[in-house]
Amino acid sequence: MPQITARAIVLGALTIAANFYYIVNVGQRLGIGSYVHSQFPMATFMPFVLWLFLNTALRALWPRVALSRGEMLTLFSMLWVVGTIPQLGWMTYWTSIVGAPSYFATAENQWEELFFDYLPWHVFANASPRVVDPFWFGLSEGASIPWDGWIGAIGQWLGVSMAMVVFGFCLIALFHKQWVEAEKLTFPLAQMPLDLTQGFEGKRWPELFCKPVFWIGFALVFLPILYNIATYFA
């Protein structure tokens, strides 16, 4: 029976932190694509595949420290739960809303007269140009982030965000018995990590990697992508 271990939780938390840092800096700051535009986000899949190959190497070199199948699935589950939060999954929409009203209000659209009196300003960033302008145009060289104008709004939204996450977990718990036992839903997206870790115990490679049909399907998808990458830099 797969078990959740403290080691898996610690490694999962560290992987999530590194994953968030990469996604925010590459996807958000540099604007290089999105890793969360799907029901099965690449922000979850890519780190899991890296761990899959790393664990394969550990099984060959240091079998005692290699992760078990249960620990690998724990890593995947942690990544999947929070994989859509950074970039377009959550942070882009949320931060844009927090800094939007005072920046986009102009004399032409008359936002200030139309609805500013009805806005709960405690959930928005300080309307001062010192606070809002660097968010949209970037910090000037040597300037520091004006946290004093953001920390209040961040705290307010953090509470709402946590409430939504807890609500989602509770909703899933309520429907779990109906979905699994009565309707017997298969959850095809969750089948992928199960297949990739099937037969992992006591073996160097997952069983799926030993099937020729897997590599045929992999080649049919990967080779066109590899060709496109090569021509992109040509």
Domain identity same for 114 and 81: no
Number of domains in the chain: 2
Q: Quick one: pLDDT at residue 87?
A: 62
Domain identity same for 16 and 73: yes
Q: Determine the Cα–Cα distance for residues 193 and 39; give it in Å rounded to an integer.
A: 14
27 pLDDT band, cuts 50/70/90, is low
Q: Is the pLDDT at 234 greater than 70, yes or no?
A: no
Domain identity same for 177 and 154: yes
220 pLDDT band, cuts 50/70/90, is very high
Residue 28 located in a structural domain: yes
Q: Determine the Cα–Cα distance for residues 78 and 16; give it in Å rounded to an integer.
A: 8
Residue 125 located in a structural domain: yes
Which residue range is the domain that position 9 belongs to? 1-89
Residue 225 located in a structural domain: no
Q: Quick one: pLDDT at residue 58?
A: 86
Domain identity same for 115 and 83: no
Residue 194 located in a structural domain: no
Share of the chain above pLDDT 90, in %: 10
Burial (Cβ within 10 Å: 0-12, 13-18, ≥19) of residue 92: middle
End position of a domain, from candidates 57, 89, 121? 89
pTM of this prediction? 0.73
DSSP letter string over 94-117? HHHHHHSHHHH--TTTTHHHHTGG
- Segment 65-70 shows an average pLDDT of 87
Share of the chain above pLDDT 70, in %: 86
Q: Is the pLDDT at 84 greater than 90, yes or no?
A: no
| Residue whose C-alpha is closest to residue 11's, from 72, 58, 63 | 72
Q: Quick one: pLDDT at residue 175?
A: 93
Residue 27 located in a structural domain: yes
Residue 200 located in a structural domain: no
Answer for the pair 37, 44: CB distance below 8 angstroms, yes or no. no
Residue 117 located in a structural domain: yes
Domain identity same for 84 and 150: no
Domain identity same for 127 and 168: yes
| Residue whose C-alpha is closest to residue 19's, from 110, 88, 82, 97 | 82
End position of a domain, from candidates 54, 89, 124? 89
2 pLDDT band, cuts 50/70/90, is low
- Segment 86-94 shows an average pLDDT of 67
Instruction: Dump pLDDT digits (tens) for 151-203.
Output: 988 888 888 888 988 898 899 899 989 998 899 888 888 888 888 888 766 66
Q: Quick one: pLDDT at residue 208?
A: 79
| Residue whose C-alpha is closest to residue 16's, from 43, 35, 42 | 43
86 pLDDT band, cuts 50/70/90, is low
Instruction: Dump pLDDT digits (tens) for 120-138.
Output: 888 888 888 888 888 888 8
Domain identity same for 22 and 61: yes
- Segment 104-111 shows an average pLDDT of 88
Residue 13 located in a structural domain: yes
Domain identity same for 74 and 155: no
Q: Is the pLDDT at 232 greater than 80, yes or no?
A: no
Q: Is the pLDDT at 5 greater than 80, yes or no?
A: yes
Domain identity same for 149 and 110: yes
Domain identity same for 85 and 113: no
Show the tokens assigned to 17: 């932190």
Domain identity same for 42 and 121: no
- Sequence-distant (6+) residues with CB within 8 A of 69 are 2, 197, 198, 200, 201
End position of a domain, from candidates 139, 162, 184? 184
Number of residues written out for the chain: 234
Q: Is the pLDDT at 41 greater than 80, yes or no?
A: no
